[in-house]
Amino acid sequence: MSKTTFVNGTMYDHGDAEVTIDGVAYALVKSITFKDKMEIGKARGTSAAVRGTTTGTYDADGDIEFYPGAAGEGGSIDLLAKLGNGWMKRKNIPIVVTRGKGDQPLRVDELVACRLLGRESSSSEGNEADTNKFGLFISKIIANGIDPIDA
């Protein structure tokens, strides 16, 4: 059985996160999701067993969902105003997710050279606030200082 000690007995939650996009912090981020993977090729030759693998190709993607907010509140309205016309064509947008509170050590994930791929707006009956969700192209994810492909 593993004995894990958590600082102050707590784990990070979304309220402990600060999301900055192109150097600006956004307070109305409802969620951010990102993932990366390495797709490798398998060389078998005439064998049923794998004899070797290729270096592979690295891919990362994700999405970010905002509450729109009003101007100056840190929502998607502010993001689009900052990026301006042609926002889907903007390249190399840095996104940094920093987590920590109190005495907890900071965890910093850098989403390198991103692009916003499109927007999905959502409004529905009930007590949920409207949202805007953006697909993300991510060149690389550096998770807490660790480069997955060291390149």
pLDDT at 6 over 90: no
Q: Look up the pTM and report it.
A: 0.87
- Could you please state the CATH topology (level 3) that the domain comprising 16-143 is classified under: Pnp Oxidase; Chain A (2.30.110)
Determine what percent of the chain is predicted with pLDDT higher than 70. Answer: 93
Q: Which residue's entry shows tokens 């958590």?
A: 6
Distance (Å, rounded) from C-alpha 18 to C-alpha 26? 7
| pLDDT tens per residue, range 25-74 | 999 999 999 999 999 999 999 999 999 999 999 999 999 999 998 888 88
Which amino acid is residue 71, in one-letter code?
Answer: A
What are the boundaries of each domain within the chain? 16-143
Average confidence score pLDDT of the chain: 91
Distance (Å, rounded) from C-alpha 84 to C-alpha 93? 13
pLDDT at 13 over 70: yes
| pLDDT tens per residue, range 97-151 | 999 877 778 899 999 999 999 999 999 999 989 999 999 999 999 999 999 999 8
Provide CB contacts within 8 A for 56, sequence distance 6+.
38, 39, 40, 41
Which amino acid is residue 81, in one-letter code?
Answer: A
The distance between the two most distant Cα atoms of the chain, rounded to a whole number of Å, is 63
Identify whether the C-beta of residue 108 lies closer than 8 Å to the C-beta of residue 102. no
